[in-house]
Every structure is written in structure tokens, then in C-alpha cells.
Amino acid sequence: MADRIIVTGLVIHARHGMLDHEAKIGQRFVVDLELSVDLSNSSRGDLLADTVSYSDVVATATTAFKNSSYKLLECAAGAVADAILAQYPLIRALKVTVHKPHAPIPAIFERVGITLTRSRHS
């Protein structure tokens, strides 16, 4: 299926990372979501009940991302994916990308991050 809902550039302050100061002070992360949803009914009927509320998905993702302090971005992204799939049965699959613009790496870079893909079939 090619139908997608996308959320890009969701900025969340959280306390994830391997270093003590990352868990204590926290930092800014940027989250992108790509949700695979059948939008055929909502594209014809114009009813919110036939789709997924972007606002609700953002709230769910933010809560899941901030709920715990994780050492790995993979774990934080997994919590987001699990929460979204649990809350929204219309979502068949999703990609969660977490960018860490201020990762403690001795190099000049724009950001580092991870992307994970989950579906109800995996």
C-alpha cells in the first residue's frame, strides 16, 4: 500500500544517551514518523473517523519518547513504534526516525540518527 501519513521534524527534549550528563540534562531530538494507513475511505468521505489524527499520533509519540530514559536511540524509537501500533489499529506499518543533532561525537556533522521499521506482521 502506498498511502502514508507523515510527520517530520517533531522536536522533543528528552534524556536519552550513554553519558551521565545526557540522562541528567537531556537534549533535543528530532523525530520523523511515516505511517502506513489505508486512506481510501478518508480521501473520499472527509471523516476523521476514517483516518488517524495527526495530533493524537504526535501526542502518543511524544509521551512514549519521553516516558523513560534510554541509553540507545534504537530503544527510544522502539518505544514510539510500539505505542503507536498499540494505540492505532488503522496503522499497518510505520517508520520511526530519530535524529540526535547534538550527539557527543568529536566531529562536525549535522545530525546522527536511526530509522526503524515495524509492521503488524513482524
Active site residues: 100
CA geometry: angle 34, 40, 42, nearest 5 deg: 85
| DSSP 3-state of 112 | strand
Half-sphere exposure in the Cβ direction for 71 (13 Å, CA): 3
- 3-state helix, strand and coil shares in percent for the chain, rounded to the nearest 5: 35, 35, 30
Q: Are 88 and 61 in contact (CB under 8 A)?
A: no
C-beta neighbour count of 84 within 10 angstroms = 21
